[in-house]
Amino acid sequence: MNLNNKTSSVLDYNIQALNTMLGKSSDFQIREITLTSIDKQAAVLFIDEIVDSNSVQQYVIEPLLSYKLPGFQTDVELLSFIELSVIQVKKITRVEDMNLASSELLKGKTLVILEGISTFLSTDTTKWNARSVESPKGQRVAKGPDVGFTENRSTNISLVRKIIKNPNVRVSTKQYGTNTHTDVSVMYIENIVDKQILETIYKRLENLHLDAVLEANYIESVLTKESKSFFPLVLNTDRPDVVAAEMLEGRIAIFVDGSPYILIAPAVLIQFFQTPEDYYFSNTGFINTRLIRFSLFFLSLYIPGAYVAFMTYHANLLPVKLLVGFVSQRELVPFPTSLEVTILIIVIIAINESSTRLQQNIAVTVSIFGGIILGQSAIESQLVEPPSLVIVSVTYILVSVVPIYQLRITAANITLCFIAGGAALGFYGIALLSLVLLLHLCSLRSFGVPYLSPFAPFVAHDLKDSAIQLSLDEMINDESHFTKEENMDETDEA
């Protein structure tokens, strides 16, 4: 059959054309009916399992069969009457293109086709199978809302709208992926958002040319494709309260159908050390948990490299008793310190990955075996030094205080670089890499916003919610804005 894009007024032709376009799939359902009151043939078409069968039966098929249609002079009047007075679904659109008709079917819509009328009615009967709302897995908290996003984009948007009941909230949805046609929604608050950043995001999304969009990372890779940095320039979160809070500060949320993680742009470094608990617990006392997280993260980057530098080039700087203990243990181990520490870090990454991939009941056993039994056996067999195992274990614990997993991956990469620098040039290598890291962070931009903002460039006004928090009324009841230095088309290239 030679197919064209235009729909036909012949019922059988339309049915066969759509059946051919969908490859005569077994889940493509065709329900032919007769409108007895006007003696006209019709058909109801849908794809099983992605529609609500009860809605198709109760609000489409039954009204068509039971309603006594009056006589009409033209088919246009008949179609309008069925659309306005017979079919009882919340949204109906007209379709006059075969490609669009097949696309509507693949979205879970139900098509109503009448003999002698080339216009189809697409009725909204979509019902995708999805899991219910559960606790967030990426950012767990001891106090606060215990609701996380799901893979359903519409559900995720509703969770944010439940928090921000503001008429200025805007949602713009478009499909991406030539094969998947994935719905991607951009959500923001009209009177707060930075319009220049919003325009930049829309522009980059327009340049998205992918065959498939299966997860939020596909969108993130396009938004930040110019960046070659280890550091993430877009924040990922699975918490509705975090998305709402970021939007209230003028940021933009990007929802991808099929992903429980929402993208937040722009993102600066200090955001990756913030947790909802910072706002749900009072900040009275001497302990500032956010500042501790920030300090421990950067300490974890340097500990393995400094240890390698001490043992390789600067052992004379260690206290005598500590040096004697290290040297006596060092003589029994066959590997150099740099290789030993690197292997231990890789082993810990492997244990972490395996515990994530395995079944939950087995993962606990693997973690205990890998962390205790394997480590003890390696020391007893004199394959590694006890201080090396302690150093790597402490590093893993310190980096785990970071609430965003993306930054932990960044920490692992930078730690390996510092180990290499310490092994090659000692403290001079670490100092050189520290300078490179600082210059790199200063040069990074997320959609034109300096990555080290509000520290570099220093903006005293924005320090209210940085390393040290002020009171909630001072942070919330204040106008949000971003410090931008360059044209955004020329940034994010570090």
C-beta separation of 148 from 137 below 8 A: yes
Token couple for 123: 């009725």
Angle, CA of 72, 33 and 45, to the nearest 5°: 105
What integer is the mean pLDDT of 334-362? 81
Token couple for 289: 């948990």
Residue 237 DSSP SS3: strand
Residue 328 CA to residue 312 CA, distance in Å, equals 15
Which pLDDT does position 494 carry in this prediction?
44
Which pLDDT does position 133 carry in this prediction?
79
Helical segments of 146-288, H only: 153-163, 195-206, 216-223, 240-248, 277-280
| Per-position b or e across 216-237, b if 16+ CB within 10 A of its CB | bebbbebbbeebebbbbbbbbb
**Are residues 188 and 92 part of one domain?**
no
Which pLDDT does position 2 carry in this prediction?
43
Residue 253 CA to residue 173 CA, distance in Å, equals 12
What integer is the mean pLDDT of 319-345? 79
pLDDT class of 333 with cuts at 50, 70, 90: confident
**Are residues 313 and 400 part of one domain?**
yes
Considering the domain boundaries, does residue 460 fall inside one? no
Specify the higher pLDDT residue, 405 or 356.
Answer: 405
Give tens-digit pLDDT for 166-179.
889 999 999 998 88
Residue 472 CA to residue 34 CA, distance in Å, equals 65
C-beta separation of 360 from 311 below 8 A: no
- Of all residues in the chain, the percent with pLDDT exceeding 70 is 88
Considering the domain boundaries, does residue 469 fall inside one? no
**Are residues 294 and 261 part of one domain?**
no
Residue 125 DSSP SS3: coil
**Cα R_g (the chain), whole angstroms:** 30
What distance, in Å, lies between the first and last C-alpha atoms of the chain? 54
What integer is the mean pLDDT of 120-130? 87
What integer is the mean pLDDT of 193-210? 90
Residue 452 CA to residue 415 CA, distance in Å, equals 20
**Are residues 294 and 432 part of one domain?**
yes
**Are residues 432 and 294 part of one domain?**
yes
Specify the higher pLDDT residue, 459 or 428.
Answer: 428
From 257, 280, 303, give the residue that closes a domain.
280
Considering the domain boundaries, does residue 5 fall inside one? no
Give tens-digit pLDDT for 357-399.
777 667 666 666 666 777 777 777 777 888 888 899 899 899 9
Considering the domain boundaries, does residue 458 fall inside one? no
Considering the domain boundaries, does residue 44 fall inside one? yes
Give tens-digit pLDDT for 224-266.
887 788 899 999 999 999 999 999 988 999 999 989 999 999 9
**Are residues 93 and 221 part of one domain?**
no
Average pLDDT over the chain reads 85
| Per-position b or e across 67-100, b if 16+ CB within 10 A of its CB | eebeeeeebeebbeebbeebbebeebeebeebeb
**Are residues 431 and 356 part of one domain?**
yes
Which pLDDT does position 377 carry in this prediction?
72
What integer is the mean pLDDT of 67-79? 84
Considering the domain boundaries, does residue 431 fall inside one? yes
Token couple for 288: 């500032």
Is residue 480's pLDDT more than 60?
no
What integer is the mean pLDDT of 328-343? 81
C-beta separation of 207 from 198 below 8 A: no
Is residue 475's pLDDT more than 70?
no
Is residue 489's pLDDT more than 70?
no
Question: Closest Cα partner for 183 from 203, 204, 163, 156?
Answer: 156
Residue 258 CA to residue 150 CA, distance in Å, equals 8
**Are residues 272 and 167 part of one domain?**
yes
Is residue 197's pLDDT more than 50?
yes
**Are residues 257 and 296 part of one domain?**
no
| Domains contained in the chain, number | 3
Is residue 27's pLDDT more than 70?
yes
Q: Alpha carbon 132 to chain centroid distance?
A: 18
Considering the domain boundaries, does residue 384 fall inside one? yes
Token pair 């009841």 is found at 477
C-beta separation of 432 from 425 below 8 A: yes
Give tens-digit pLDDT for 183-193.
999 999 998 99
**Are residues 180 and 312 part of one domain?**
no
Considering the domain boundaries, does residue 143 fall inside one? no
Which pLDDT does position 486 carry in this prediction?
55
**Are residues 378 and 329 part of one domain?**
yes
Token pair 């039994």 is found at 373
What integer is the mean pLDDT of 20-34? 90
Which pLDDT does position 1 carry in this prediction?
42
Q: Which residues constitute the domain of residue 234? A: 153-280
What integer is the mean pLDDT of 472-484? 61
Residue 150 CA to residue 134 CA, distance in Å, equals 8
Give tens-digit pLDDT for 90-117.
899 999 999 899 989 998 899 999 999 9
Q: Which of 137-141, 279-283, 287-291, 339-343 has the highest mean pLDDT?
A: 339-343
Which pLDDT does position 275 carry in this prediction?
85
C-beta separation of 184 from 176 below 8 A: yes
Question: Closest Cα partner for 379 from 440, 431, 322, 332?
Answer: 332
- Sequence-distant (≥ 6) Cβ neighbours of residue 324 within 8 angstroms: none
Give tens-digit pLDDT for 428-440.
999 999 999 999 9
**Are residues 307 and 170 part of one domain?**
no
From 227, 251, 280, give the residue that closes a domain.
280
Angle, CA of 63, 64 and 66, to the nearest 5°: 60
Is residue 151's pLDDT more than 80?
yes
